[in-house]
Structures are given as C-alpha cells and as structure tokens.
Amino acid sequence: MGNKKNKAKKKRLEERNQVLEQEIEKEKEDLEKTVKLLLLGTGESGKSTFIKQIRLIFKSGFDEKTRELYKHTIQLNLVKDTKSLVTGMNTLDIDFEPENMSIAREFFNTEVKHCTHETTELKEMIKTLWEDKGFKDCFEKRSTLQVPDTHYYYLDNIDRITQEDYKPTDQDILYCRIPTSGVTVVDFEVEKKLWTIVDVGGQRSERRKWIHQFDDVTVLGYVVALSEYDQKLFEDEGINRMKESMGLFESTANNEFFETLDCIILFNKIDLFEKKLKKVSLKKWFPGYTGEDDDSESAKEFISSEFIELGKNNKRSIHHFYTCGTDTENIKTVIQSMQKIILQVHQNTNSNL
C-alpha cells in the first residue's frame, strides 16, 4: 500500500516538474523572441516624438480619431503658447510696437477654452503679434518662459492650422507637445521578433512609475534634448534642464537594475541646438566647454562625452546617436543602427540563459 502511494506521489512530482520545465522553456522562447527597449529621459526631451515616429514607420500611423484629437490640442496650444509669450513680454521688460499694444491687450484678455471657431477668430491677432519686432525678440528669449521651441512652426503655419476643415498632417502631430502621463507601450514586429518600446513620463512626478518597467529590459534608452542647455526645469525654475538630465541619467544608468545593461543615448533636437548655438553661448551654462560658440560639432561632442562619462563602467557599452525627432528619415536611419545594436545584445543575453 505504501509503495503505491509513493509511486503515485513520485508520478505527480514528475508531472509537476514536467509542466514547470515546459513553462520555463516557453518563457525562454518568448524572451528569445522579444526585445524590450525602456525609453527614459526628462520631460520634453523628445521621447514621445520618437514613439510617434515608431507608429509612422512600423505601425499604421495616425487614424482619423487621433488626428481629430490632435487638431484641438494644436489649435489650443497655438493660443495658449502665444499668450505665454505675451505675458513673457512683461517679464522680460520687452515692449510691443505702439500700434500693436491694443491688439496684444485684447488678445490677452480673450478667453479660449477649446473651440476651433474661437481660435480661427483670433488668427489675425496672432499673425499681427508674430510680425511684431518685440514679440519676435521675446520668442528668441523664450528659454525662461517655458514656451516650446516648436511654437514657431505653428505660428508659421497659422493660416492652414486655423481653417475650419483643418486636418493635422503627420508633421503637425510630430511637432505637437503633449506631456506623457503614465506609461506608453508600443509593440511591433521586425524579422519575426516582437519589439516592445516603453515610454514613461519624464516629469518628476512621473518618475516613481519607472521602477515597474524594469523587468526583462534588453537595452536602456535615454533621450537628451541638446537644445535645452540654457533652459530651466518646468517643475523648478532654479534648475537647468540639461543638468537635471545629466543627474537623472547618472542615477538611472548606475542603478542596480541597469548597471550591466548596454545603453543607447539619443542626443535629440540637434536642429534646434545648432540654431541656438549661433545666439546663445554654451560656455555661459557649461564653463568646461572650451570650443568655439558656433562650432556645433565640438559642442555636441562635449555634451555627449559628459553624459557618457557619467554612465561608463566595465560591465556594459554605451552607444549614442544625434537625432532630429521630427525628421522621419533621420529617425529611420537611427532606428536601423539601434536595431543592430539591440539584436546583438539580445543574442548575447540569450546565449547565456
């Protein structure tokens, strides 16, 4: 009787072990087929724009419902950010041209909630302000006003954007700034492998959610906005955005979860960076830079080397690219290079399983 019980117990254990082995094997197969890139960075670095590019390149792009949502956001932002500049005129002690003072006052006192018709009615006012010399001067000094660098794009395209039948183009959507709240996950397939890119909001209030995305990460991605070297943090105007990004990268890259992971840094907004260098000295904010103010090659190499040094160790490699998040062809080229790096890392990781 005892032998029968022992045999039955042994059989159950063997069956249970067989099930566990099958589950482990399946998990291993799934891991071998899945590549996970965790994309981190401070707010407004360009992570969300990168995700939009992924949707354009590997997915079906933006559907009609999404375009309609962006339509209202773009039109509202056009007014909201222009109002921020009008307010900034007083902050920076810049005057409108005398003939535009009453228009500026009327525009500022007009309340717009979220109505296309209201935005259309304000079009001529905004166009007049955009031609004002003082307003343009204020825009050039926007780094202290929390006005997006891309606002000029919508001001230049105001006639098209304020039409009643306006439908945002892909480029309009790429330029649109909507803060990421929570976690955005995009899956796509390339050469029989499932790629998962996870974008977590970069604002300070969102960073506590990052830890929940640490499992099974193949490569750590980090996005830096090069053009923010003279800007202040939205949450704390006493902090330089670039220095905040450097501190965040150092603490993240050297976190116990990531210290052995290869890292890819995307030094983004290279187009805005090159334009800004001609007017705003990098040395003012980073005295350690010894190159010429208008030498974009030296300037970007200085910043990239500063970041790489913060995360360097003998357990992993750090790769970097210079990107223009709104340039789809540029992003396609960068993604191709990233894929080679990530697949090699993935292959090496799985060979050790």
Over range 211-238, report the average pLDDT.
80
Q: Is the pLDDT of residue 102 over 90?
A: yes
Token pair, residue 57, equals: 């390149």
Bigger pLDDT: 14 vs 67: 67
CA dihedral defined by 140, 143, 146, 151, rounded to 10 degrees? Answer: 30
Q: What is the pLDDT of residues 161-220, one digit of tens each?
A: 998 889 999 999 999 987 766 678 888 887 777 888 888 764 554 445 555 556 678 899
**Would you say 194 and 34 are in contact if contact means Cβ atoms under 8 Å apart?**
yes
CA distance 34 to 353: 14
Instruction: Choose the catalytic residue: 199, 228, 244, 262.
Output: 199
44 is catalytic: yes
Domain 39-60+181-210+219-345 in CATH 3.40.50.300? The answer is yes
Average pLDDT, the chain: 84
- pLDDT tens column, 240-267: 899 999 999 998 899 888 888 999 999 9
Which contiguous run of DSSP H or E holds residue 253? helix 241-253
Task: Please tell me whether residue 309 adopts helix, strand or coil conformation.
Answer: helix
The domain segmentation of the chain, as residue ranges, is 39-60+181-210+219-345, 64-167
67 is catalytic: no
Q: Is a pLDDT exceeding 90 seen at residue 13?
A: no
**Does the pLDDT of residue 305 top 90, yes or no?**
yes
CA-nearest of 219, 179, 191, 238 to 42 is 179
User: Is 154 a residue whose pLDDT tops 60?
Assistant: yes
Q: What tens digit of pLDDT does each residue of 279-292 get?
A: 899 999 999 999 98
More confident residue, 6 or 344: 344
What does the alpha-carbon distance between residue 79 and residue 98 come to, in Å, rounded to a whole number?
22
The active-site residue out of 42, 44, 150, 252 is: 44
- Which residues are 224's β-sheet partners? 267
- What pLDDT, on the 0 to 100 scale, is given for residue 30? 46
Catalytic-role residue among 34, 203, 328, 349 = 203
Please enumerate in sequence order all residues whose Cβ is within 8 A of that of 350, keeping only pairs 6 or more positions apart, or say none.
Answer: 28, 31, 32
Taking only the tens place, the pLDDT of each residue in 116-126 is 666 777 899 99
Strand partners of residue 222:
40, 265
Q: How many helices (H) and strands (E) does the chain have?
A: 14, 6
- φ, ψ of residue 154 in degrees (nearest 5): -75, -35
| CATH number for the domain whose boundaries are 64-167 | 1.10.400.10
The terminus-to-terminus CA distance of the chain in angstroms comes to 43
Decide: 336 and 191 in contact? Cβ < 8 Å. Answer: no
DSSP assignments along 147-200, one per residue: --TTHHHHHHTHHHHTSTT----HHHHHH------SEEEEEEEETTEEEEEEEE
Exactly one of 49, 53, 75, 231 is catalytic; name it: 49
Among this protein's residues, is 237 annotated catalytic? no
In this prediction, residue 215 carries a pLDDT of 67
Decide if 177 is catalytic: yes
* pLDDT (average), residues 297-305: 96
Secondary structure class of 279 (helix, strand, coil): coil
Instruction: Say whether 203 is catalytic.
Output: yes
Q: Which of 177, 204, 207, 316 is catalytic?
A: 177
- Read off the tokens for 33: 């087929």
β pairing state of 183-190 and 193-200: antiparallel
Q: Is 326 helix (H, G, I), strand (E, B) or coil?
A: coil
**Rounded CA gap, 232 and 206, in Å?**
18
Tens of pLDDT, residues 54-68: 999 988 899 999 999
Question: With 50 as the cut, is the pLDDT of residue 93 above it?
Answer: yes
